[in-house]
Structure 1
Amino acid sequence: MEITRRAPVGRPRGFDADEALEQAMLVFWERGYEGASLTDLTSAMGITRKSMYAAFGNKEELFRKALERYTQGPAAYAARALEQPSARDVATAFLAGSVRTTTRPGCPAGCLGVQGSLAAGDSGRAAQETLIAWRDDGRIRLRDRFRRAVDEGDLPEGTDPELLARYLMTVSNGIAVQAAGGATRSELQQVADAALRTWPPV
């Protein structure tokens, strides 16, 4: 008689990986990559270091996963803005989303993607490069959307899509830094509105 061997049943993790990643994201958002110690992270996540490594990899890998969660969650306004019908609507939604996210109640002030690793030593170099690539990707997506707007006649002929994209990113990044310094949502929305007053007329 042949005996069928069953594969051992995997032991449950014993924690909510989704919630743990949410907490890690908040720690990185508040303290940056280098400022977030493993003790800070595991304490907020409610798990041991061993469990963290098993579920998420090392600190650098955890940071990448947290940034991905941030992109799909609090920073999802950027992708939604690109779907707006006009270039001006894109810019308006993009800056309004930046203001809301950087002053979000119950979350750290500022932007994880901007302040997460602006000044980094050797241990934070990979995280810094990850965030540079993240911000560049945002700029490129805006540039391509504005290029389409020029082709469609929604922006004047001769408009520089790259310059417009960099302009919006610079204003958005400045909003994040100001929010981290204590500026209110109302004050930052006024900045966004002022920036839009220079938008190219159709």
Structure 2
Amino acid sequence: MKVPRTQSRKTGRPLSFDREAALEKAMLAFWESGYETTSISDLTAAMGVTAPSIYTAFGDKKQLFLEAMRRYVGDAADLKKAFVLAPTAKEAVARMMEDAARLYTGDATPRGCLLASAAATGSKDAADVRDAAARERRVIRTIIIERIESDVESGLLPPDTKTSVLADTALAITHGMSILARDGADRNALIAIAQASLSGWPDHS
């Protein structure tokens, strides 16, 4: 889920701290508390750097969050590859949802999904944060739909399969799993929900 990315910044004096390590800590802080409720003071405490250092290295809080979110999501090419290599679309979605259940209940990370916390951001000032999270979800949705369509074309799924409905259902269930994880649901419960949701998929033709 997390792939380090090299980001450009204004040239000048070298940073006095490990940028990637600081970004990881910022990601965890945002993941725990969400975008709007995580203050610069919270970030300086979590990252172990000063506020001016944050502005120098990342621009501002919003840019820091967007970069942390990209780190959390990782490279879409990796997800696409996993979907292409899976035996069927259903198995690819099952693996995605089970991976999400494990991520949402990790021992060393906050519960739930960072993208879901971004979606809960409500102020006008955070509209571009919500839009960025929505774009990431649309990328995932497209990957799911393309694999389902491939299964339809190859005869693994019936011709009348509602590809977008299956993809949207998978994403809705995954989002709900994040909420349940925040409420204290354990990993096995989330995996059971994921498996139950897949029982409604059409049979192979």
User: Any idea what the Cα deviations from partners look like across 1:105-134, whole Å, max 9, x if unmatched?
Assistant: 111100001122414112222211111222
In the alignment, which of 50, 72, 75 is matched to residue 74 of structure 2? 72
Q: CA deviation at 1:79?
A: 4.5
Q: Secondary structure at the match of 1:116?
A: helix
Deviation at 1:169, TM superposition (A): 0.3
Q: Post-superposition shift, 1:41?
A: 0.9
* Bigger mean CA deviation after superposition, 150-159 or 9-18: 9-18
AA in 2 matched with 1:141: I
Shift of 1:46: 1.0
Corresponding residue number in structure 1 for 2:123: 121
Match of 2:188 among 183, 186, 189: 186
- CA-to-aligned-CA distance 1:143-175 (integer Å, 9 cap, x gap): 111111111112111101111100100111111
1:65-99 Cα shifts (integer Å, max 9, x gaps): 001100128x9985464231211211210110111
Unaligned 5+ residue runs, structure 2? 1-10
Q: Distance in 2 between matches of 1:78 and 1:34?
A: 28
Greater Cα radius of gyration, structure 1 or 2: 1
- Is 1:140 aligned to residue 139 of structure 2? no
1:197 aligned residue:
199
Matched residue of 2:200: which SS? coil
Distance 1:191 1:76 in 2: 27
Q: Which moved more, 1:9-18 or 1:162-171?
A: 9-18
Aligned counterparts of 2:200 and 2:140: Cα–Cα separation in 1:
21
Partner in structure 1 of residue 30 of structure 2: 28
Match of 1:95 in 2: 97
Residues 77 and 93 in structure 1, CA contact (< 8 A), matched pair in contact too = no
Q: How far apart, in 1, do the equivalents of 2:121 and 2:73 lie?
A: 21
Count how many residue pairs are aligned between Structure 1 and Structure 2.
Answer: 193
Counterparts of 1:48-87 in structure 2, within 5 Å, are: 48-72=50-74, 78-79=79-80, 81-83=82-84, 84-87=86-89
Instruction: Tell me the residue number matched to 1:154.
Output: 156
Measure, in 1, the Cα distance between the counterparts of 2:12 and 2:117.
Answer: 39
Paired with 1:184 and 1:191, the residues of 2 have a C-alpha distance of 11
In structure 2, what residue type is equivalent to 1:147? E
Equivalent position amino acid for 2:97 in 1:
L
Normalising to structure 1: TM-score of the pair? 0.89
Partner in structure 2 of residue 13 of structure 1? 15
- Is 141-150 or 15-24 further displaced after alignment? 141-150
Change (3 A) 1:80 1:118: farther
Q: 2:26 touches 2:43 (CA, 8 Å); kept in 1? A: yes
Distance 1:76 1:41, change over 3 A: farther
Name the CA distance, whole Å, in 2 between partners of 1:186 and 1:76. Answer: 28
CA contact (8 A) 1:81 1:93 kept: no
Q: Residues 36 and 121 of structure 2 are in contact (CA less than 8 Å); yes or no, is this contact kept in structure 1?
A: no
RMSD: 2.0
**Matches of 2:139 and 2:180 in 1, distance apart?**
22
8 Å CA contact retained: 2:89, 2:144: no
